[in-house]
Chain A
Amino acid sequence: MSNRAFAALALAVAAALIAASTLVTNDYFFSAAYTVLQFVVLATAWNVLGGYAGYVNFGSAAFFAVGAYSSIFLYKWAHPPLVVMIVVGTLAAALLGLAVGYLTLRLRGVFFAIATLALAVMLFTFVVNWDYVGGARGAYILQPRELPFGLKRYIHVLYGAMVLMAAVALVVARTIETSAIGRGLAAIRDDEMAAECAGVPTLRLKIFAAAVSGGLMGMAGTTFPYYLSYVEPSAAFNLSYAVNSIAMPLIGGMMTWPGPLIGALLLGTVQQLVQVTVSSEWNLLIVGALLVLFVTIAPSGIMGWVAAWKRRKKK
């Protein structure tokens, strides 16, 4: 399937999902679907650098929070429309990805991972001390009164935005995957030295992937303030975003775009169920345990099983 056809298909599915949701009357559905789709974006974004190039980013929460806090900043400053917030937040997070990538991706891959891990702590400190966006007390964000397209509640707008963002993230990931960039990243993942020798511009590709990945994570965060109405730093910088955005591609399978999608839908839904029926702490424990379990026992994830099953069928 060509990229354009895939983009059209993704948009059509997104439109269908948005249209179908008008039939749903239960408001909890929107909130749950928003969260699951947010994880689709985060997992897909993580996979652009982590899955395709093999560089682990532990700072998903930091990039997510940059998106969220750029929205809060814009809200306090100028009250722009949601679209502006999404674009600005995405660009800000992409810039952060670019900067961190530029500083650390020239070294051994593990330094990038460590830097992203510490990045969350540092940005958290920065935000806690920044009174304009609420500091440690947090910030209140009022959802706009006027709703577009005759929608009934603001969560419907947020849901629609998140469906579109998920579609965009998947299209971007698949476009990268099928392009020369994707092949370059795969070469880096398999053997960086050999790739470098074969003329792959490894550093440029890695930094590009870091920027795209960070930008998409930030995009997922831009609507977060409106979703919660009240954002405190520990909510936006929650470590569970980092864990989930790693666990989901690992469980789904990291080599191709459907992996993170499947992982996010599966793990996201399970978490919604556990959160409602048991507690959010147990829910996090389950994610962590699944992450360790899959990474030790089934390193290729669910898509790995699918590939093995297809191979067997061919024989």
Chain B
Amino acid sequence: MESTTALVLNAVIAGLLLGGFYAAVSVGVSISFGMLDVVNIAHPAFIILGSYAAYIVNDRLGVDPIVASLVLSPLFFLLGMAIYRVYYLCFERRGQESLRGLAFFFGILFITEVALILVFGVDYRLARAAYSETTWRLGPVDFPLRLVVPFLVSLAMVIGIEAFLTHTFFGRAVLAVAQDALALRLMGVDTLRVKERAFALSIATAGVAGAFLVVIQPVQPAIGREYIGLVFAVCVLGGMGSIRGTLAGAFILGLAESFTSTFAGPSWAPAVSFGILLATLAFRPSGLFGR
């Protein structure tokens, strides 16, 4: 009985730590898909790109991967701006985003993955941080720092984004675009610019989340796909475009996956997010905290 309690406790802690990381992974999709209505299914590809960027800086210069990703995030911001430009010019402006825009992002996802395979091969890479090997123990419960540090930085990032969106002028403009872009245009706001910056922000978060990923587990170009179901499951479960909902959804997903790994085997974990996604779409498509 004793060991079962420890097992459950460990699963809960691991789930919460994982959930914090999932919040960082999904917050970008909450912005792009939930608020801007840009269905960026290539988001996981940018996460993996962030993983490799952090890995290279860490490997060559010995800089902490998460610090490296924060320094590199302006580059991801610029990349996001460029991609949104193309997306807007080719699809959104012509009202073709539903089919061709999706295919476009799918192509980007695929190209990124194959290009990374061509450059780095399919070997698993893991970034080394000063805290990678350390684990704090509190009674029977483990707190591996390689999960705790991303968890804390991730929470800070997500809460920071929520505060930015609700308390600054630009952030409120983004929320307004999410509510009614036409009304905003009529008031003389350049919605294109707002959307471009907001989308760029979402890609920047992907870059940082990628650094978390490469600290937490070894990364290989093709694992990005496993996160597609996850990010959209979190986003839909939490309610479209709600950052708090995303946080809650991420913790639910983290706990669900952690319990599945503990009690049914880790090989079943990838199916969890899809199951939750499908169930949410079928029974409560507006999500738990939907508007």
Contacts and interface: CB of A to CB of B under 8 A. Distances in A.
Contacts of B225: 120-121, 239
Interface in B110-151: 110-111, 113-115, 117-118
Contacts of A121: 225-226, 228-229, 270-271, 274
A119 B233 CA distance: 12
Interface string A218-241: 000000000000000000000100
A287 B111 CA distance: 9
B106 A246 contact: yes
A15 B273 CA distance: 47
B98 A117 contact: no
A272 interface: no
Contacts of B113: 239
A273 interface: no
Interface string B263-291: 00101111101110110011001000000
A177 B177 CA distance: 39
B111 to A, nearest CB: 4
Interface string A291-303: 1100110010000
B274 A118 contact: yes
Interface residues of B, number: 43
Contact of A56 (B102, B117, B271): B102
A292 B107 CA distance: 6
Nearest to A117: B228
A128 B226 CA distance: 14
Interface string A80-118: 000000000000000000000001100101110111011
Contacts of B278: 103-104, 115, 118
A: interface residue count bin: 35 or more
A124 interface: yes
A281 B229 contact: no
B108 interface: yes
Contact of A118 (B103, B107, B229, B265): B229
A282 interface: yes
Given A109-B98, A110-B39, A239 B110 contact: yes
B interface SS class: helix
Interface in B213-263: 222, 225-226, 228-229, 232-233, 236
Contacts of A58: 41, 102, 106
A10 interface: no
Nearest to B98: A109
Interface in B182-204: none
Given A121-B228, A285-B115, A285-B118, A115 B277 contact: yes
Contacts of A107: 281, 285
Contact of A295 (B103, B110, B277): B103
B179 interface: no
A50 B41 contact: no
B100 interface: yes
A117 B41 contact: yes
A115 B281 contact: yes
A104 B270 contact: no
Nearest to A56: B102
A104 B103 contact: no
B107 A50 contact: no
B267 A125 contact: yes
Interface of A: 50, 54-56, 58, 103-104, 107, 109-111, 113-115, 117-122, 124-126, 128-129, 136, 239, 242-243, 246-247, 250, 281-282, 284-285, 287-289, 291-292, 295-296, 299
27 contacts: A56-B103, A58-B41, A103-B281, A107-B285, A110-B39, A110-B98, A111-B285, A114-B41, A114-B229, A118-B228, A118-B274, A121-B228, A121-B271, A121-B274, A129-B265, A129-B268, A239-B113, A239-B225, A242-B106, A281-B117, A288-B107, A291-B106, A291-B110, A292-B107, A292-B108, A295-B103, A299-B96
